Structure 1
Amino acid sequence: MGNLSNLLHGTIRWTLLFMLLLLAGNSQTLTAQVVKDQLSQNVTHATTSKKHVDSLLKLANTKKDTATADAMRLFYLGMEDARMLKYNNGVAHALAGLAMCYNNNNEKDKALSCERMALHYCEDNPEGLEMQLNVYLFMSQTFYYKGKYDSSAFYRYTALDVLEAHNIKDTKMQTRVYCSLLDFWLNINENIQNDMHIQQVMGHVNNLVDSAKVKKDTMGLVLLYFYKAGYFNNILQNDSARAYCAAAIQMGKTKKMSASMEAGLLINTGLTYLDDKNPAPAIRYLEKAKALFPPNNHIRNRHQIFADICIGQGYLMQQQYSKAVAITLPALKDAEDRHMIHLLIGRGNQVLADAYEALGQYKKAAAYRKAYNIVRDSMMKVEKLELVYNLEMKYRIADKNKELAEKQLAITRNESRIKTKNMLIIAVSSGLLLILLVSLLIYRNNLHKQKLQLEKIRNLRQELQISNLQAMIAGEEKERSRIARDLHDGMGGTLGTIRTRLSAIFRRHTTTDVTEDFREVLQLLEEASIELRKTAHNLMPEILLQEGLIKATALFCERVNKGHTLEVNFQSLGICTGLSAEAELTIYRVIQELIHNILKHANAKHAIVQIACYETQLAVTVEDDGNGMLTNAQSDGIGLKTIRERVNSLSGFLHIDSVPGEGTSVHIEIGIKQNNTSRHAYQTSDC
């Protein structure tokens, strides 16, 4: 078993799978009656079209593996129709199909003859280029199985030259070419992980994977993942190989991929488990691959034959020798009858030799061992050819590099002469360009300085305007404070004294006639004192200085509710810190002015005052359900102008949103300096 593992390494298995995928077709057999109907249908057509030829060739292509003779008749018929139409690409397609049929019959020389003829019929258009690439790849496979590896490599690289010469960007065509190159190098070299050619091709394959992901080309990814799995299988990273196979199977199911592709992925997954000496899951995956094709088909699919031989190897690992013989023997006979590649036949002979030897049937074991040794000797010859080919490829690459170097030297000399002739022009142009560049830089610098200067002037004007507003507001507040003190200390004291004296007189000289008059006078004095105190507090509210903006505003709203029909709802969010006393007073005056405007002009029933304090910003919102107003700044009255000036003095933002008949909403935002971490709390009160 050690010899089998070393001889039939992953590179051989991937050659088998590539050939199976290239040549596999529909597993259903084309009966004589179907062919007869198809031929009859072609005869009855009065005219033949390119579409009809393509349809005929497509039908033949699906039958080339299971009904080779019938497929060849259809290819010949399609070729004659294409020649009659002078449809050269159709002729090339038919010849390529015939070549694959001859390959199925192990007639390699006839296959090569058809492939060479097909090249002459490929037209100079995208369809013809694609056909030309496919023919080169078919030829490379034919030469590979003839044992001519240098010719096989030549035609693969010829396909690559066509791809690059015509700058073909079609990812499907690129995928075929680079995957074919990867398949070749995986099967021709032993030191896969460090091989320069394989790493170069893997770079292209990885780029194609990225492109397919971007374009969401699911089937392209399936094929690319198949070959990436082959790469990881060959460098003995079977977990990665299985991961790519599983991903390809999952994606392929969404696009209904062909049974041949899915079978190839399942078989490869099973082979990785055989490599790991884990036959149970290997047999399970191989059975799944077989189940994709009709079990009662009298001509078994190539995947079924390959899967049976591998299942036999799995039974051999499980020491179920009779089962290994029972499944491998008919599969090997089918492989020999259908001229399947010698690598697969060698695997079957090895399995049978080991199984018969374990069963004690040494004569049969010796016969199959001899057949296996023939294949082994052939492979030893292959190894020598691989060595020769590698040397040839190195010389070929060296010659190509030398030719490229000579061309590059000639180009360099021409460029040097051109540079010498144009040196003066370049020097003069460079000088002019330098002068122009310096001039532009100087102009740009001056323009930038002018902009900075204008910006400074605008900033100074704004600062001056804000200073004037702040000075004016400070003066107003001082005057309000003076009037408030005079009212409170002067007139307030006088009214208090008068009320006290009248109360004393009322107690000493009360009579029936004057009692009601005295009481009325005292009541009027009491009301006058209260109004005087309200006026004084409005002019300079002490609670604002003692308790801050939130409580002063809440008290103001409460007073408005008690003295008017307007219902004011006050809300606050957060705790305002970092505001100066002057800023709090200015904001308080703005709120006062907005509420007074609502009372005077809005004819509203409800209003909302909201103060929200954040870390670096204070927001004030005043809304009502009144008459609304015009929001144009040019139509502002004295009150709104005063409000705008006060907000500007704090470098704030004022926005008024009003619709006539639907109320008004005023929103103010003012930046604040936060010294301490604020504690957010939500307060609400119906003032």
Structure 2
Amino acid sequence: MFLRSIVTVQFLFLFVSVIAQSSHKPEIDSLIKNIPAQMRSNEAVAVKMIDQLGGLSAREKHLHGITQAAFFRCWLTYRNGSADAAIRSIDSALANINAIETDSSLANFYILKGQCYVKKTQFNFAQLAFKRALSIAEQKNDVALRTSTMISIGWAYMEDGKPKEAIGFFETVLKANPAESYPNRALLLCNIAACYNTMGNFTTASTYASRGIALARSQGAMGDLANGLNILAHSFYQQGNTEKAIALLKEASMYRQKIADPSMLASDYLELANLYLKNNQPALAIEWSTKAKDSSLQHSNALKVLAAYELLANAYEVEKDAASSLEFYKKILHLKDSLSDEKYNQSMASMQVEFEAQKKQSENLELKKENLESKLRNASQQRWMILLGSGIVLFLFTGVYLQQRTKNSYRAKIIQQQLLEQKRRARDIMAAEENERSRIAADLHDGVCQTLAVASMQLRNISAEGSPISSVDDLINQAGKDIRDISHKITPELLLKEGLAKAIQRSIANLNVGENKDMFSFIYYEEVPLEDNILSLVIYRCFQELTTNIVKHADAKKAVVQLGIYTDEIQLMAEDDGKGFSNELMQTGLGLQNIRRRISLFSGTLTIDSITQKGTTITISFKDWKNKIFYDAS
């Protein structure tokens, strides 16, 4: 908990130093400059300023203002929402803001995307995002941007449990920015202190934390000051000075209140309660746990509420108040159930709302019926005519409705059968293609290769008698090797025997020889196994098409292939640093048309992101692949 106390405010520092850009619009520049400070102190004001910045920039067609407004919103989504939601916001901005690749804030999106992957503990993807940001910084020769990216990489190592590597990055940034006025200096000193705490070197941690606290006080940076006090409290506690640790945590919570940081304030309260409980002071532990509980309930932070409940249950148990302890244990179980059943609860709530609406509608209809009957009782003749007319209308309406519904149902069934038949035929055609490939491969391997082998043996016998025909033997051997290679490419036996990932790994290894040595790298993540051989084959053929295009046309130095098999999605991504290609080739390229044709059977999507002379990223996705019926399995 002490280590994570520095995380929330860190991201804001990472882009403050690279945020400025010259403009002919002073009001836009002023908003861009002042929003970060408000985001750290008063989020409500910051949100209004971001909306103002977005609207003004859109009217003025000011690219940097539009980009910065989008980035601020992504950052708030990260701080207040989930990492996945923030990643979706980032990807949307990168895809939809015209000419964003020319803006100075482009790298900030990749830095924040890396931070999102760190939050998800997907450090490989985080490093890819950070490398992209570093590449942009080096292309622009932007020292400040490169420094910000290195801070992010150091933080990623810190979160990954590698404090020594993190300290190396932080120290490098400090050496490159030795001035005491460097805005991120206090932050870096506190980060290093947190790393030394993790390593158990509490004396050194205290030294760095004290330096960071002093600098933060002089600069009036209350967020850094609160973090430094929190880290120093951890150092003192580990050295046996619990009273000093408690005093520092109280001071840290005071600054959290000033900058209105409810999440970290609750963390400070929980740490105070935990120290009091360990110090055998359950009454004070109950007091501070209650504060944490109230604050977390007010801001709907379920995880912090759960932690407060656990501390309160333990504290009341030490106080020998069994009834109160049992009450909070019940609340813990109830809250855990509610968290695990959140989707179920949402569905039930939706059904309850729908039920109430239908109930209200029924009551209204009943009331209308009673009013109608009251009126009809006053005029018997009018009542019977209305009833007769209503009955005829209802009968006609019902007949028309049932007829139309029957027609629609029949049409939908016919369309569905046609679609299934088309997909079944396409699947059969694909299977026939692969069977023919297998037959050709077997014929090449068992027929022509064996014949060439026998011919080679006979030629060697003749050569042994003194005839100069060794060169012919070499040519025949080379022909046999080429035919075996063709046979293996036509039918990937490794795919059928050991699965998609092994087949791609073997192909990557074969690609990384000769002129393409170490060009390709492969990242693989599997949540669930892929047991559909046809779908595996389609993905493998797409992989072959993508890597062939990279080798033949991209003029790339490095390329990364990523395969992720998740419960709700399969994603194949190929990214290179080559010369890119035009929009026309995206639509007319034969290889891409082949890919689109293959994946259409499985409702797959193809996304292309190519920038001339800067590289290409192609993503193939199969959404909800486990729940879709692509063809008749029978």
Higher RCO (CA < 8 A, seq sep 6+): 1
TM class, shorter-length:
0.3 to 0.5
> What TM-score, normalized to structure 2?
0.47
- Computing the radius of gyration over CA atoms, which structure comes out larger, 1 or 2? 1
TM-score (norm 1): 0.43
